[in-house]
Structure 1
Amino acid sequence: MFDKKFSFWALGVALSATILMFCFPPKITFDYDFESFFPQDDEELAYFYAFREQFGNDNDYLLVALGAEDIFEKTFLEKATAVNEKLKGLELVEGTVSLLDMKEPVIGPFGVRNRQTLDLEGDLSKQAEKLMNSPQWSGNLLDSEADYLLIIVNNKNQISKEAGDELYAEISEILSESGINDIKTAGKIKAQGEFVELLQEEFAFFLSISFGLIIVLLLVIFRSFWGVVIPLLVLTIGILWAMAFSLYFGKPLDVMSVMQPTILSVIGLAALVHFFNHYLNMLRDGDARDVAVKESFSELSIAVFLTALTTALGFLSLFFTSVPSLRLFGLYTGVGVMIMFLAVVTIAPGLLYLVPAMKSAQSDSLRTLWRIGMRSAFLSVTKKRITIVCVFVSLSLLSGLALTDLRINGYILDNLPRNHELVKEFEFFDEKFGGSKPLELSLKVGEKADNLLEKEVLLELEKLENFVRENYESAVILSPLSAVKGINKALNSGSENAFRLPSQGQFERVREFVPQALEQSPVQILSHESKEGRMSTRTADMGSLKSNVLNENLYRFLVEEIDENLVEVRLTGTSHLIDISHESVTRQMARGLGVAFLIVAVVAGFLFRSWRISMVVLLPNIIPLLWMCGVIWLLGIELKLTTAIIFTVAFGIVVDDSIHFMSKMRIELAKGKSWLYALKRTYLETGKAIILTTLILGTGFSVLTLSQFGVTYYSGLLISLALVFALLADLLLLPLMLIPLKKIWDKKNH
């Protein structure tokens, strides 16, 4: 198949396709969408969408903290007021919430009078004392030490990434020209913008470092000009094809895409090493260049195709998860692996026909050393069967126990290290203003109430508010109850002591002013008929592990203390969905691995037409995953949604060595050799290739530990270790498991 005519034809088609790609380049876009990590099969997501349709999104805001030595100094407040007015004037801003434009209603005999919460023309020292002692404002729109003044900028709901970038740039310009030096910001439009900026930097970094790594590895392995140039050209075109494929289909580059250049390059390089090693061996044995090219690609193409297929299917198994970001990463990386294989077999043979015959970089003494080393290793393995099996079983059992003790925990800014500047700014708002993470509770009137403004319902909401405030350590809470408290305060000349539920005698009068209070609320808190509402606040991003403990306590409290016949309460919102996403890690991992196990079993069964042999091939590739769990436990790594991919991806890659091993053994058996002799020849000849490809893949994936993104860092670390564990399993355990199968093979073939 890989004769000169076919190879030149394939090379011509490949180069033509590459030229067309440059003539009609795809549009390169970067994106980071929090909602792409929501599990789509969860009923909570549908409920959230319905809730959002009625009450708006819960995280379309930017927190801006303006700091000064004395925030009640008039000059500072004038600067802050100018900033606030400019922010309100931006096209994509729906409004701002701050003490600078808040007005407190005072209801008297002559109607409603609105007075400034913070009056710049009044006595600022008296106002400062009042505001700092107010539970309504202290820790909410100013921090408890009065070092910072908070402006909540509410942007238009669900604006696009591009619009968010434009808005944040406008806000940044206003803040930089404000004359205020101490400014902190946190929010969705900032986080998405900085994520994508970091993503672009990392993508360029890993693209360049992948090529640098490839050049170094090629020089070490082949030590020849064409041994570097040809693989480099093949891998460059393969990466371009794979990335262009996803871009042509409109998939933007995201946090998961950072890994793709490195993944594709090391997988493609491993395939090229198999082909080139065989090619050089044939040249060394005296075969002509044309014969060596044709035979090396013809003999190994099936084995390399199967390893590429199992790797691709390992990624594609992520498509069966319910998280869009994982699904798309699995789909396009899996397809990308097969595109890389296509680039290898269509470009490399034609180029090898065009250049002079390459010379082997290995000396005779080095080749002899390899043979002696592999023969000694095989003899040692067969002599120490019991010891090897006991060690593998013991480590696997210990790792299995560690698996049961792994913790699942994730954060909103989950892929960034906890010491990153963006994370620190969010933590600043967690500490100073009650939180940066939205907390939403949906409220619905119960069977024994007509609306959420009935006194009995509000008493239930008061119990709920107290629980949320004490347990979640939340910021100020907006709800139907807070609106009623605000009206009661207004009826009592703005007295802070009156910010509470009114007495039964005043309650009916309070209800008269509810419509006006709802109109002035910074967010919608009640439906038109007052039968549905929300309790909205912010909490610290304490991680999904702690959040889930608090949520469980909340569920118990709702059952034991809240009368559902009066009000039905349900946790919802973007933060809740992100926590659910992290909790779904076990389910997502099981789905991906289940599909991957089935695929490998089918491939092994296809090769040998035996389910027993397919199970034997499967076991040594489960062990690296178990040991990886042991490492995760030892290092104290916490599982989260994005780390769920590591197990599936690692399995798809580590199984390649077993496929190569079994493919070579099938070739030896097809030549009429006995089972044990075929096993020995396979070990001696394939062992070297397995060690080299493990070195290449392990080195390539270890480069990912240079990333600032958590998912990229842990993928590099853990997959590199899994490759080493797989090498040990394939060279130490797999041969011992194959020896007893001699009787089964002999019975099938006689």
Structure 2
Amino acid sequence: MFQKSTAYTFLALAVLLSLLLLIFRPTPQFNYDFETFFPQNDKDLDFYESFKSQFENDNDYLLIALSNPDGELLESRFLAKSYAIQSKIQELEKVDTVISILSLKQPVIGIFGLTNRAVLDWSDENSLAKTNANLEQYRPQLVSKDGNSLLLWIKNEQNISKEDGNILYGAIKDLFAEFALEPRATAGKIQMQGDFIKLMQHEFGMFFGFSILLILILLVLIFRSWWGVVIPLVVLIIGVAWAFGLLLYLGKPMDVMSVMQPTIFMIVGLSALIHFFTHLIKKLKAGVKKEEAISAVYSELLMPVWLTVLTTSLGFISLYFTTIPALQDFGWTTGLGVLVIFLAVIFISPGLLFLIPITNDFSGDQVEKPGLLHSSFSWQLKHRKWILLKFLGITILCIFLGSKVEINGYLLDNLPVDHPIQKDFEYFDEQFGGSNPLEVFLEVGSGANSLLDLEVLQEMEKIDAKIHELFGEGKTISPLTLIKSINQAQNQGDPKAFALPSAGQRQRMNRWLDKALESSQLKVLAQDRKSGRISARAPDLGSLKMTELRTELTDFVEKEIDPDLLTVRWTGTAYLIDKGHKSVTTQMAKGLGVAFLLVGVIVGFLFRSWRISFLLLIPNLIPLLWMLGLMYLLGIEFKLTIAILFTVAFGIAVDDSIHFMSRLKHELNQGKNLIYALKRTYLEAGKAILLTTVVLTAGFGLLIFSQFGVTHFTGLLISASMIFALMADMLLLPLLLLPLKKIWEQKFNNS
């Protein structure tokens, strides 16, 4: 298959494919949608979709805090400028409503009917001083706790697209630049999407460049020949271009998970090339002619290298069987890209090796020195029991430590701690009661007619008070808010009357309800008045703490709220994301289960033995358990983006085991006994395994410098797992194979 003519044909096809890709190159698209982390096929997600159609998205808003850089917040010129900005924002396309203390009107019901008066009037100093007292009622919802900033709550068009969101956010920033006023803090979906994409584009380009530089350094150190550097570098760059070209043609935009893909593709491709090139160099040193050596190496190693690449690809593809779209997309795209890289290796490298003159002039340092590996193998045979006990002890300890790792995730996990978005969200958490949406669905019970019945409102007030107790000082918005506002209006706008009315007061406000519902900017009640919502903002306390608080509220409702009057249910985007983090063990089990099954089938096919399939899983399960122990020691918590790393690590780590076993099978097929075959395998395959581990560790270690949390932890934990896998493959696997001596020899003697 790998004769010169065939290799040249493959190379010509590769050149043609590359030219076509260059001529008809796709346009890179970047996207970030945190809703792709919602668990699919989930009854709570289905319920939220119904909730959205009845009310609205709970996260289609932008929060902007404004402070006066020249003095007090309640200064007339600053308030006038802020109101002018708000008015301009309200006129922008895709803006639904802008709510702030600047435009808020307080309804007042008097003998002449309903009138509205400004909550804050800065037309003159007397009016400003008079209305200043009204602000306390809106703290910290629209005015900060410290009184130094006010909030513009911009509700944009529902389900706004990424492109329209970027345009709108850009227009809002332009308005602030026009008025020479810098917001104190900003938080919202359209801001996060835009800023995330900018960071993604920066990191994607940076890591692609650093990956090329790292590959160049590793190639120089490993092969120390110009062709050993140039050929792999050309193959890998073209392979990565093919991979991303295919993904873009398939309509897959790049997202936060794509940042690590260039490094993964290059490192997996380089590992394959190392296996081919180290065996090629060995044959050239043995005096084999160049053409014969190339043909022999690629023919002998095609199947073992293909199996290692396939297991890596399947390790990623197994993520498709989770229920999180972001993980599914990352899994199948990375798995497909790994296969494309392998095609680039096979289509390009043999042809270039035939085409380019290769000298047999290698430095003495590159001559294989089996002395260290030989001593290591002898030492292992003498200390078998000690090594097995050490592995067993460390593994049990890591299982114990791993059981203490908590499941916890934050909305902004992927951003660095000092990123401006983090600082802005912290400001809203501290000064405005939170930035994350908190949603509770309300439904009238069988014993009441409407959520506005006084008995139902009394139950609702108990829940409202409990929410304040659990989640902080942020204000809630609900049908109860509407009733309290009307009660306040019936009492001449007195802030003290913003309370649940008496039975008589509640009866008198019926005539005003329809008008109040029509003029309300808040969608808190369904048209039939039988369902509604409690909406609030809460700090990002993490999924662990939020789950505890939600459970506490649920328990409170079961004990204290009459279900014949009112039933409640958690919903909202923050709830779904926290639920996704909570399902981390299920997602990890699904991914690993599929990966174990696929690898077991491949190994079973290769060796025709279920015992060997089972045995091979042991040294590849150990790195995963040791990763758990490392996570505890480093204080790393479980979350969705961490859970996937176990599947990825398994898919990559098993490569060396398959390479080791393939070489062992080759030695046994030559009639050698198991001990001698193990020794030859240890010495022959050992160097390639060591080199690929160095390459993988260095490549993934590069990701540690990423600003994205998911990319950073991928680099840290996968690098560590590669070292653990090397130890298991080189120290443990040979010892596990020795008890099967009779079975091995009988199997291969018979064959």
Counterpart for residue 173 of structure 2 = 172
Letter in 2 for 1:590: A
Mapped partners of 1:131, 1:433: distance in 2:
17
CA contact (8 A) 1:222 1:360 kept: no
Letter in 1 for 2:49: Y
CA contact (8 A) 1:207 1:261 kept: yes
Query: Structure 2 length as normaliser, TM-score?
Result: 0.98
Task: Give secondary structure in 2 for the equivalent of 1:442.
Answer: strand
Q: Alpha carbons of 1:474 and 1:245: their partners in 2 closer, same or farther (altered >3 Å)?
A: farther
CA contact (8 A) 1:102 1:117 kept: yes
Mapped partners of 1:250, 1:341: distance in 2:
22
Counterpart for residue 35 of structure 1 = 35
CA contact (8 A) 1:62 1:188 kept: yes
Counterpart for residue 332 of structure 1 = 333
Mapped partners of 1:192, 1:462: distance in 2:
36
Report deviation, 1:388: 0.5
Letter in 1 for 2:714: S
Report deviation, 1:639: 1.1
CA contact (8 A) 1:474 1:537 kept: no
CA contact (8 A) 2:435 2:540 kept: yes
Task: Give secondary structure in 2 for the equivalent of 1:361.
Answer: coil
Report deviation, 1:125: 5.0
Counterpart for residue 24 of structure 1 = 24
Report deviation, 1:473: 0.7
Counterpart for residue 265 of structure 1 = 266
Mapped partners of 1:264, 1:181: distance in 2:
42
Report deviation, 1:360: 5.4
Letter in 2 for 1:329: F
CA contact (8 A) 1:474 1:540 kept: no
Counterpart for residue 116 of structure 1 = 118
Task: Give secondary structure in 1 for the equivalent of 2:476.
Answer: coil
Deviation string, structure 1 residues 675-694 (Cα, Å, up to 9, x no partner): 22111110111111100100
Mapped partners of 1:113, 1:59: distance in 2:
32
Report deviation, 1:367: 3.0
Residue 206 (structure 1) aligned with residue 204 (structure 2): no
Deviation string, structure 1 residues 557-578 (Cα, Å, up to 9, x no partner): 1101111111110010001011
Report deviation, 1:606: 1.4
Report deviation, 1:509: 1.4
Task: Give secondary structure in 1 for the equivalent of 2:447.
Answer: coil
Deviation string, structure 1 residues 97-155 (Cα, Å, up to 9, x no partner): 00111101100111101101111225255346413432xx0111111221001110111
Mapped partners of 2:366, 2:298: distance in 1:
25
Report deviation, 1:386: 1.1
Mapped partners of 1:297, 1:601: distance in 2:
25
Counterpart for residue 349 of structure 1 = 350
Residue 676 (structure 1) aligned with residue 679 (structure 2): no
Q: Which of 99, 102, 109 does residue 100 from structure 1 map onto?
A: 102
CA contact (8 A) 1:67 1:148 kept: yes
Mapped partners of 1:41, 1:639: distance in 2:
22
CA contact (8 A) 2:543 2:578 kept: yes
Report deviation, 1:516: 1.8
Counterpart for residue 712 of structure 2 = 713
Letter in 2 for 1:51: F
Q: Alpha carbons of 1:360 and 1:551: their partners in 2 closer, same or farther (altered >3 Å)?
A: farther
Q: After superposition, where does 1:461-480 map in structure 2 within 5 Å?
A: 461-480=460-479
Mapped partners of 2:48, 2:443: distance in 1:
14
Q: After superposition, where does 1:223-242 map in structure 2 within 5 Å?
A: 223-242=224-243
CA contact (8 A) 1:27 1:248 kept: no
Counterpart for residue 322 of structure 1 = 323
CA contact (8 A) 2:243 2:337 kept: yes
Letter in 2 for 1:25: R
Counterpart for residue 55 of structure 1 = 55
CA contact (8 A) 1:449 1:566 kept: yes
Deviation larger for 619-628 or 508-517 = 508-517
Residue 420 (structure 1) aligned with residue 419 (structure 2): yes
Mapped partners of 1:523, 1:293: distance in 2:
73
Query: Structure 1 length as normaliser, TM-score?
Result: 0.98
CA contact (8 A) 1:413 1:423 kept: yes
Counterpart for residue 742 of structure 2 = 743
CA contact (8 A) 1:72 1:128 kept: no
Report deviation, 1:245: 1.1
Report deviation, 1:618: 0.7
Mapped partners of 2:9, 2:734: distance in 1:
41
Residue 15 (structure 1) aligned with residue 15 (structure 2): yes
Mapped partners of 1:360, 1:298: distance in 2:
24
Mapped partners of 1:82, 1:404: distance in 2:
56
Report deviation, 1:280: 0.9
CA contact (8 A) 2:225 2:362 kept: yes
Deviation string, structure 1 residues 541-594 (Cα, Å, up to 9, x no partner): 111111011011011011011111111100100010110111111110000001
Report deviation, 1:520: 2.7
Report deviation, 1:505: 1.1
Deviation string, structure 1 residues 49-90 (Cα, Å, up to 9, x no partner): 000011010111111111023111111111111111111110
Counterpart for residue 130 of structure 1 = 133
Q: Alpha carbons of 1:360 and 1:276: their partners in 2 closer, same or farther (altered >3 Å)?
A: farther
Report deviation, 1:418: 2.4
Q: Alpha carbons of 1:282 and 1:29: their partners in 2 closer, same or farther (altered >3 Å)?
A: same
Mapped partners of 1:507, 1:120: distance in 2:
34
Mapped partners of 1:23, 1:633: distance in 2:
50
Deviation larger for 116-125 or 521-530 = 116-125
Q: After superposition, where does 1:304-453 map in structure 2 within 5 Å?
A: 304-359=305-360, 361-363=362-364, 367=367, 370-453=369-452
Letter in 2 for 1:443: L
CA contact (8 A) 2:119 2:131 kept: no
